[in-house]
Amino acid sequence: MAIRPILTAPDPRLKAVSEPVAKVDGEVRTLIEDMIETMYDADGIGLAAIQVGQPKRILVLDIDQRDGKKNPQAFINPVITWASEEMAVAEEGCLSIPEIWDEVERPARIKAEYLDRDGKKQTLEADGLLATCLQHEMDHLEGILFVDHLSKLKRSMAMKKLQKAKKLKAAG
């Protein structure tokens, strides 16, 4: 297992649409393990493969990590099959847009299908933080960042704040 570097905006690779995984094999499982280790190292609760430079439809989540527990989940080729009309607003952040947080509105409940680490088809119904996190990470697979859901003004302010933070870090 290895900790991989996380791409940060405005890296153009983050805007790429990820390719489906044809076969769940040892290479895919190694990538998943690396992604989980990278996510924990960065103190995140979700990570998409594109964020570590791999344009594959893979993401990992662990919402229990916030409570100091470990319950990592891997989703390969995830697809939302149903979304509620009811919406929910939650504050989101992103490992690829460090130190930027803002409220995003998404469907409150979803159903998703995906392959697990063994290549078996799974179905999941999610609400709350799990639904928000899953939708956030699935957006990455389409080249969408959470700031893309913000108004043009808020997105511009967030990206300026990110650039300023990068300059300070580089100088510092």
Instruction: Reply yes or no on whether the pLDDT at 172 is more than 80.
Output: no
Closest residue by Cα to residue 60 from 92, 37, 80: 37
In tens, the pLDDT along 67-114 reads 888 999 999 999 999 999 999 999 999 999 998 999 999 999 999 999
Which own/partner pairs from 162-171 qualify as long-range (CB within 8 Å, at least 24 positions apart)?
A: 162/8, 162/9, 162/97, 162/98, 162/99, 162/100, 165/98, 165/99, 166/8
Instruction: Reply yes or no on whether the pLDDT at 27 is more than 80.
Output: yes
Supply the residues annotated as catalytic: 137
pLDDT of 164 reads 86
Q: What are residue 111's DSSP bridge partners?
A: 82, 125
Percent composition of the chain: helix, strand, coil (DSSP 3-state, to 5): 40, 30, 30
CATH architecture classification, 12-171: Alpha-Beta Complex (3.90)
| Residue 102 exposure: Cα atoms within 13 Å on the Cβ side | 20
In tens, the pLDDT along 148-157 reads 999 999 988 8
pLDDT of 170 reads 80
In tens, the pLDDT along 31-55 reads 999 999 999 999 999 999 999 999 9
